[in-house]
């Protein structure tokens, strides 16, 4: 389920401090959206907690995703290493400025936790963002993020390897966010310490040089091509 409303460039332009006639870049929109992260945070947490209460006992992953990328995120695929979210699935799209919440639960009767990844395609790019979670049956909870070209399909083995390579363990408190970047997009995650922890994922954007160089797409190839063309003139 999604929580909140879309934040558009027109809202940024309407701010009293915004210079008249100044164009709003994707970086500007992302920075503004990040400042609004707390607007619906409590509502999102309350909703995913209600999913958990409805589900009952058992290891679960309470997943919340905040989209501050300046683009719409479209659900691409899911990797269920252990467990499922058949009753509380991800929504098809997440608009800029929205929270999206998912409850992923362990497999009934199995001595395993809740482990998997949710992957989204970023609008007008060939870039995908994966949010990887591991609510352990025994041991610490962990999470990681991955921002990568769409051509690199995320398999279950890759998801596991990423979690092992970039293991981000809770240490008794809500941990400080880890950031993974690619193509100007920055993905962060923090994870709680409960047996059914809250994961807070964010996706933002910050690259003024790309804002200036990019026309209809934010791919590395587009930027490189424009730079080459400028060098030739």
Domain boundaries, the chain: 2-232
CB neighbour class for 125 (10 Å; exposed up to 12, middle 13-18, buried from 19): buried
Structure-block tokens of residue 52: 């958990």
> What number of CA atoms fall less than 13 Å from residue 230's CA on the CB side?
8
Residue indicated by tokens 């970086």: 27
Three-state DSSP state, 27: helix
Single pTM value for the model? 0.83
Residues 6+ apart with CB under 8 A from 46: none
Q: What is the CATH number of domain 2-232?
A: 2.60.270.20
Distance CA 90, CA 43 (A): 17
**pLDDT tens, per residue, the chain with 233 residues:** 999 999 999 999 999 999 998 999 999 999 999 999 999 999 999 999 999 999 998 899 999 999 999 999 999 988 887 778 888 999 999 999 999 999 999 877 666 788 889 999 999 999 999 998 988 787 788 888 888 888 776 665 566 566 555 554 544 444 445 668 899 999 999 998 888 999 999 999 998 776 765 443 344 434 333 443 443 34
């Amino acid at each position: 389920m999604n929580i909140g409303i879309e934040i558009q460039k027109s809202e940024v332009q309407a701010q009293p401090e915004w210079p008249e006639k100044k164009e709003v870049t994707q970086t500007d929109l992302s920075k503004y959206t990040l400042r609004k992260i707390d607007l619906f945070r409590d509502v999102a947490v309350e909703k995913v907690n209600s999913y958990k209460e409805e589900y009952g006992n058992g290891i679960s992953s309470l997943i919340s995703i905040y989209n501050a990328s300046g683009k719409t995120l479209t659900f691409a695929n899911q990797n269920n290493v252990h467990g499922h979210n058949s009753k509380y699935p991800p929504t098809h799209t997440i608009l800029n400025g929205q929270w999206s919440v998912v409850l992923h639960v362990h497999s009934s009767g199995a001595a395993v936790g809740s482990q998997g990844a949710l992957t989204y395609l970023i609008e007008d790019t060939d870039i995908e963002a994966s949010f990887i979670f591991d609510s352990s049956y025994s041991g610490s909870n962990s999470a990681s993020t991955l921002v990568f070209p769409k051509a690199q399909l995320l398999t279950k083995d890759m998801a596991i390897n990423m979690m092992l390579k970039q293991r981000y363990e809770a240490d008794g408190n809500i941990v400080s966010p880890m950031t993974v970047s690619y193509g100007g997009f920055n993905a962060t995650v923090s994870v709680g310490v409960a047996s059914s922890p809250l994961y807070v994922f964010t996706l933002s954007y910050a690259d003024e040089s790309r804002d200036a160089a990019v026309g209809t797409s934010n791919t590395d190839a587009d930027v490189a091509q424009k730079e080459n063309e400028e060098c030739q003139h």
